[in-house]
Amino acid sequence: MIEQLIIHPDPQIKARLTEIANKVLNNERINIDDCIDLYEHADLGVVGILANQIREQKNGNYTYFNKNLHLEPTNICIHNCKFCSYSKKIGGDGWEFSVDEMLAQIEKADKSITEVHIVGGVHPHRDIFYYGDLIKRIKTQYPHLHIKAFTAVEIDHMIKKAGISITEGAIYLKEQGLDSIPGGGAEIFDVKLRQEICSSKSTAEQWLAIHEALHNAGIPSNATILYGHIENYRHRAEHMNMLRELQDKTKGFNAFIPLKFKHKNNTMSDITEVSVVEDLKNYAISRIFLDNFPHIKSYWPMTGKQLAQLSLSFGVDDFDGTINDSTKIYSLAGSEEQNPSMTTEEMKELIMAVGRIPVERDSLYNIINR
pLDDT tens string 319-356: 888 766 544 444 444 445 445 578 889 989 999 999 99
DSSP 8-state secondary structure symbol assigned to residue 254: E
Q: Which helix (H) or strand (E) holds 318?
A: strand 318-321
Amino acid at 309: Q
Given a cut of 60, whether residue 262 has pLDDT beyond it is: yes
pLDDT at 335: 46
- Spatial distance between the Cα atoms of 47 and 285, rounded to a whole number of angstroms: 7
pLDDT at 8: 87
Q: What are phi and psi of 364, to 5 degrees?
A: -110, 15
Instruction: Sort residue 280 into left (φ over 0), alpha (ψ -120 to 50) or beta.
Output: alpha
**Mean pLDDT, to the nearest integer, of 38-45?**
96
56 compared with 299, residue with greater pLDDT = 56
- Spatial distance between the Cα atoms of 235 and 255, rounded to a whole number of angstroms: 20
- Name the nearest CA neighbour of 225 among 241, 201, 246: 241
pLDDT at 87: 63
Q: pLDDT grade, residue 263 (50/70/90)? A: confident
- Spatial distance between the Cα atoms of 8 and 318, rounded to a whole number of angstroms: 32
Query: In this predicted model, what pLDDT tens digit does every residue of 122-173 receive, in sequence order?
Result: 888 999 999 999 999 999 999 999 999 999 999 999 999 999 999 999 999 9
pLDDT at 340: 59
pLDDT at 265: 77
**Mean pLDDT, to the nearest integer, of 9-20?**
94
CA 9-15-17 angle, 5° bins: 90
**Mean pLDDT, to the nearest integer, of 176-204?**
96
pLDDT at 300: 85
First to last CA, the chain: 33
pLDDT at 304: 86
pLDDT at 186: 96
List, by residue range, all CATH 3.20.20.70 domains of the chain: 61-369
- Spatial distance between the Cα atoms of 231 and 238, rounded to a whole number of angstroms: 11
- Spatial distance between the Cα atoms of 338 and 199, rounded to a whole number of angstroms: 29
In contact, 363 and 145? CB cutoff 8 Å? no
In contact, 95 and 75? CB cutoff 8 Å? yes
Q: pLDDT grade, residue 251 (50/70/90)? A: very high
Strands 62-66, 146-149: pairing is unpaired
Given a cut of 70, whether residue 60 has pLDDT beyond it is: yes
pLDDT at 301: 83
Amino acid at 327: T
The CA radius of gyration of the chain, in Å to the nearest whole number, is 20
**Mean pLDDT, to the nearest integer, of 62-73?**
92
- Name the nearest CA neighbour of 57 among 278, 308, 296: 296
**Mean pLDDT, to the nearest integer, of 60-80?**
90
Residue 105 exposed, middle or buried by CB count within 10 Å (0-12, 13-18, 19+) = middle
Partners of 357 in the beta sheet?
62
Q: pLDDT grade, residue 5 (50/70/90)? A: confident
Give the mean pLDDT of the chain: 91
CATH of domain 61-369: 3.20.20.70
Q: pLDDT grade, residue 91 (50/70/90)? A: low
Q: What pTM did the predictor assign?
A: 0.92
